[in-house]
Structure 1
Amino acid sequence: MTAKEKYQPVLDLGESLQIKNGEVREGDGILKVKGQAKTQYEKNILWDKIKEIGGENPADIKANITVADTSVFHRHVVKSGETLGKIAVQYYGKASKYQDIFKSNSDILKNPDLIHPGQELIIPNL
């Protein structure tokens, strides 16, 4: 199995995330991947996928992923049934971090219990 075949799920994820300026090369059994994620969150999920496949310090892949927008951790579009607590768990692992999301979106949110599908929320860097 080539390194490219091994890491195909990473390449597929990059495509679904619409990674910009993507470049993939393979040589001497090492896959070299380059591109630009929209946010740090997207970069993190790419690295999580790399580690899931290759382990904590994979020697058969070199990835240079930059981030286009470092002012936020991510931008999240609210889906039906979501709460700020559920969104906080998704990005930070803790529901209590909903307050940070609420504060960062105080221009559009007046009550942390009232969010609506389709709203784009800033998920702040912590």
Structure 2
Amino acid sequence: MASFEELKAKYQSVLNVIQDKQVHLANLHMENGKLLMKGTAPSQEAANAVWDEIKRINPKLDDLIADFPIDPKLQSASMRTYVVQAGDTLSKISKQFYGNTNDYMKIFNANRDKLSDPDKIHPGQELKIPAA
């Protein structure tokens, strides 16, 4: 049977996704020989990203108990919106919100449901801006 530290190391990439997607992690401990992860996701997209990484590491889920319900109230704290203006680029918007043009992929990834190319945004589009 794996130890807490071994399982935590095994699932470190999941913990990284949890942090990146601003999922609130409430519990991380051993229960009945399995690693227990419980938290609250700010969106379905965030919860899916966590589950995708869990399944990538261990599709059988035989050493993990996980629960990540969605609480939209968390999204308002971690995500703003911005309406694209004429002349905007994701890099320019990134500079405005993050102080760095190179963080434009954060905005692109948060808006994959409406953007297929980071170079193709249009005035009037409403974009989600994830927290820095």
Asked if these proteins are the same fold (TM beyond 0.5), I'd say yes
Which structure 2 segments of 5+ residues have no match? 83-89, 93-103
For the residues of structure 2 that align with 1:69 and 1:58, how far apart are their CA atoms? Answer: 26
Q: C-alpha deviations, 1:9-46, integer Å up to 9, x for none? A: 11122122222252101244411000001001000000
Looking at structure 1, the residues matched to 58 and 71 of structure 2 have their Cα atoms a distance apart, in angstroms, of 26
Query: What does residue 56 of structure 2 align with?
Result: 52
Structure 1 residue 50 displacement after superposition: 0.3
User: C-alpha displacement at 1:53, in angstroms?
Assistant: 0.7
Superposed, 1:1-126 pairs within 5 Å as 2-55=6-59, 57-69=60-72, 79-80=90-91, 90-91=112-113, 113-114=122-123, 120-121=127-128
2:8 aligned counterpart, secondary structure:
helix
Distance in 1, matches of 2:36 and 2:15, equals 11
Matched length:
96
How many Å separate the matches in 1 of 2:67 and 2:26?
10
Q: Aligned partners of 1:120, 1:29: CA distance in 2, in Å?
A: 43
Instruction: Tell me how far apart the structure 2 counterparts of residues 29 and 67 of structure 1 sit (CA, whole Å).
Output: 26
TM-score when normalising by structure 1? 0.56
Distance 1:88 1:60, change over 3 A: closer
Distance 1:20 1:4 in 2: 17
Q: TM-score, with normalisation over the residues of structure 2?
A: 0.54
Identity of aligned residues (%): 25
Q: Of Structure 1 and Structure 2, which has the larger fraction of its residues in helix?
A: 2
